[in-house]
Amino acid sequence: FNAPAWLMRHIGDPKIVSGQQNPIRESLPPENAAQKIKAFARQLGADLVGVSRMKKEYAYSHRGRMKYTQEPWGSPIEVKHKFAISMGFREDVDLIRTAPRSGELLESGLVYLRSATAAVVLARYIRHIGYAARAHHFRNYQILPVPLAIEAGLGELARCGFLLTRECGNCLRLATVTTDLPMVCDEPVDIGAQDFCRRCKICADACPSG
């Protein structure tokens, strides 16, 4: 576990999540760019991937976490990129159900690591082809991944506040890459989650506060 532990400490470094793009820009039609980025994201291990417009209301205004970002608390955040690539990484539901035992902790940590690594590599690839890009993952978020994933068509917002997907339920972790690479965007989906959550209420019944 030494290598993953080192990565988890340093993967939020600003020099790793972001950087200068190649001055030589590859010309890609937006539809081709979206197809290429999605294929690469899946190659990096993403089970779900979608593209949306980056909205200002889905970005944080100020820095709130300092431990891994090496940036001062309260420093302003400005995400200028126009597009967001949302990636979902499936978790093993049988291991997650072992919580609070070690199986859940191990699975959660490893999926977080895979998602962060994929985001960093994807952002670096986009910079390599000449476009600005930044990785946003559990060690260094500047954006809200759930609403962006909803905009990108990965799933719907569930009553529990999580992203609910057709493929993974809510047993997944998210990572995001924001970029200026022009891409054709996906559309939000309706999988019936809102209606289901209004009728189900199992989470409310299990919660002491209702």
pLDDT per residue rounded down to tens, the chain (210 residues): 344 555 656 777 888 899 999 999 999 999 999 999 999 999 999 999 999 999 999 999 998 876 666 778 888 999 999 999 999 999 999 999 998 888 998 999 899 999 999 999 999 999 999 999 999 998 889 999 999 999 999 999 988 889 999 999 999 999 999 999 999 999 999 999 888 888 988 888 988 888
Q: Residue 138 gets which letter from DSSP?
A: T
Strands (E), the chain: 48-53, 83-90, 133-136, 156-157, 163-164, 172-179
What's the pLDDT at 68?
64
Tell me if 181 sits within 8 A of 131, measured CB to CB: yes
What's the pLDDT at 1?
37
Q: Residue 143 gets which letter from DSSP?
A: B
The interaxial angle of helices 102-128 and 2-10, nearest 10 deg, is 60
What's the pLDDT at 129?
97
The DSSP line for 70-122 is -S-TT-B-----SEEEEEEEE--HHHHTTTTSHHHHHHHHHHHHHHHHHHHHH
Count other Cβ atoms within 10 Å, centred on residue 31.
Answer: 11
User: Whole-angstrom Cα distance, residue 180 to residue 144?
Assistant: 18
For the entire predicted model, the pTM comes to: 0.91
Tell me if 169 sits within 8 A of 200, measured CB to CB: no
